[in-house]
A and B are shown apart, each in its own frame.
Chain A
Amino acid sequence: MRNAFAAVTIVAIVAGMVGYFLVLRGQTFAGHALSHVGFTGATGAVLIGLSPLWGLVTMTVAAGIGMGVMGERLVQRDVAIGLVLAFSLGLGLLFLHYFTTYATQATSLLFGNVLAVDAGTIWTLFALSVIAIVALAVISRPLLFVSLQPELADAKGVPPRMYSVMFLAIVALVTAECAQIVGVLLVFALMIGPAAAAQRVTRSVTTGVLLSAGTAAIAAWLGLVLAFYSDWPSSFCIVAIGSAEYLLCCAIAYNRTLAV
Chain B
Amino acid sequence: MNAIAIRDLKLALGGCTILEGVSLDIGSRDFVGVFGPNGSGKTTLMRAILGLISPSIGSICVLGRPAKRGNSSIGYMPQGRETATSIRLRGWDFVASVVNGHRLGLPTLNRAARREVDRVLELVGARELADRPLSELSGGERQRLMLAQTLVGHPTILLLDEPLISLDPRHQGEVVGLVKSLQHEIGATILFSAHDLNPLLGAMDRVLYLGSGKAAIGTVDEVITSPVLSRLYGSDIEVVRLRDRIFVLSGNFDIERHAHRHDHGSKDGTTHRIGVRHV
For the complex, is B241 an interface residue (Cβ under 8 Å from A)?
no
Min C-beta distance of A222 to chain B, whole Å: 25
Other-chain residue from A158, A202, A205 in contact with B107 (beta carbon distance below 8 A)? A205
For the complex, is B14 an interface residue (Cβ under 8 Å from A)?
no
For the complex, is B98 an interface residue (Cβ under 8 Å from A)?
yes
Which candidate, B83-91, B215-223, B245-253, B270-278, is the interface stretch facing chain A?
B83-91
Are A205 and B88 in contact (CB-based, < 8 A)? no
Are A144 and B101 in contact (CB-based, < 8 A)? yes
Other-chain residue from A142, A151, A157 in contact with B104 (beta carbon distance below 8 A)? A142
Residues of chain A with a CB closer than 8 A to B76's CB: 151-152, 155-156
For the complex, is A199 an interface residue (Cβ under 8 Å from B)?
yes
Residues of chain B with a CB closer than 8 A to A24's CB: 87, 89
For the complex, is B102 an interface residue (Cβ under 8 Å from A)?
yes
For the complex, is B131 an interface residue (Cβ under 8 Å from A)?
yes
In the bound complex, what is the Cα–Cα distance between A24 and B83 (angstroms)? 10
Are A137 and B105 in contact (CB-based, < 8 A)? yes
Residues of chain B with a CB closer than 8 A to A156's CB: 70, 72, 76, 98, 101-102
Are A141 and B106 in contact (CB-based, < 8 A)? yes
In the bound complex, what is the Cα–Cα distance between A149 and B134 (angstroms)? 13
Q: Chain A, 134-148, contact with B by CB distance < 8 Å: what is the 0/1 string?
A: 000111111011001
Are A200 and B88 in contact (CB-based, < 8 A)? yes
Given contacts A26-B83, A152-B149, contact A157 B98 (CB under 8 A): no
Other-chain residue from A26, A138, A142, A200 in contact with B101 (beta carbon distance below 8 A)? A142
Are B78 and A152 in contact (CB-based, < 8 A)? yes
Given contacts A154-B52, A155-B50, A203-B88, contact A140 B106 (CB under 8 A): yes
Residues of chain A with a CB closer than 8 A to B93's CB: 203-205
Are A145 and B104 in contact (CB-based, < 8 A)? no
For the complex, is B170 an interface residue (Cβ under 8 Å from A)?
no
Cross-chain pair count, CB within 8 angstroms = 91
Min C-beta distance of B221 to chain A, whole Å: 33
Are B101 and A141 in contact (CB-based, < 8 A)? yes
Residues of chain B with a CB closer than 8 A to A149's CB: 78, 97-98, 146, 149
Nearest residue, chain B, Cβ from A253: B88
Q: Chain A, 154-175, contact with B by CB distance < 8 Å: what is the 0/1 string?
A: 1111100000000000000000
Residues of chain B with a CB closer than 8 A to A155's CB: 47, 50-52, 69-70, 74, 76, 78
Q: Chain B, 132-156, contact with A by CB distance < 8 Å: what is the 0/1 string?
A: 0100000000000010011000000
In the bound complex, what is the Cα–Cα distance between A85 and B145 (angstroms)? 38
In the bound complex, what is the Cα–Cα distance between A151 and B78 (angstroms)? 6
In the bound complex, what is the Cα–Cα distance between A105 and B101 (angstroms)? 45
Residues of chain B with a CB closer than 8 A to A203's CB: 88-90, 93, 131, 133
For the complex, is A91 an interface residue (Cβ under 8 Å from B)?
no
Other-chain residue from B89, B103, B105 in contact with A205 (beta carbon distance below 8 A)? B89
In the bound complex, what is the Cα–Cα distance between A180 and B230 (angstroms)? 67
Residues of chain B with a CB closer than 8 A to A145's CB: 97-98, 101-102
* Contact surface of B with A, Cβ cutoff 8 Å: 47, 50-52, 69-70, 72, 74, 76-79, 83-84, 86-90, 92-94, 97-98, 100-108, 131, 133, 146, 149-150
17 contacts between A and B (CB under 8 A): A24-B87, A24-B89, A26-B83, A137-B106, A139-B104, A141-B104, A141-B105, A144-B107, A148-B84, A148-B87, A149-B78, A155-B74, A156-B76, A156-B101, A199-B88, A203-B93, A208-B89
* Contact surface of A with B, Cβ cutoff 8 Å: 24, 26, 137-142, 144-145, 148-149, 151-158, 199-200, 202-206, 208
Which 6 pairs, one residue from A and one from B, show the smallest C-beta to C-beta distance? A157-B70, A145-B101, A151-B78, A203-B90, A141-B107, A155-B50
Q: Given contacts A145-B97, A203-B131, could you give 11 more A-B pairs where the C-beta distance is less than 8 Å?
A: A141-B104, A142-B103, A144-B97, A148-B84, A148-B87, A149-B146, A151-B76, A152-B150, A157-B69, A203-B89, A206-B107
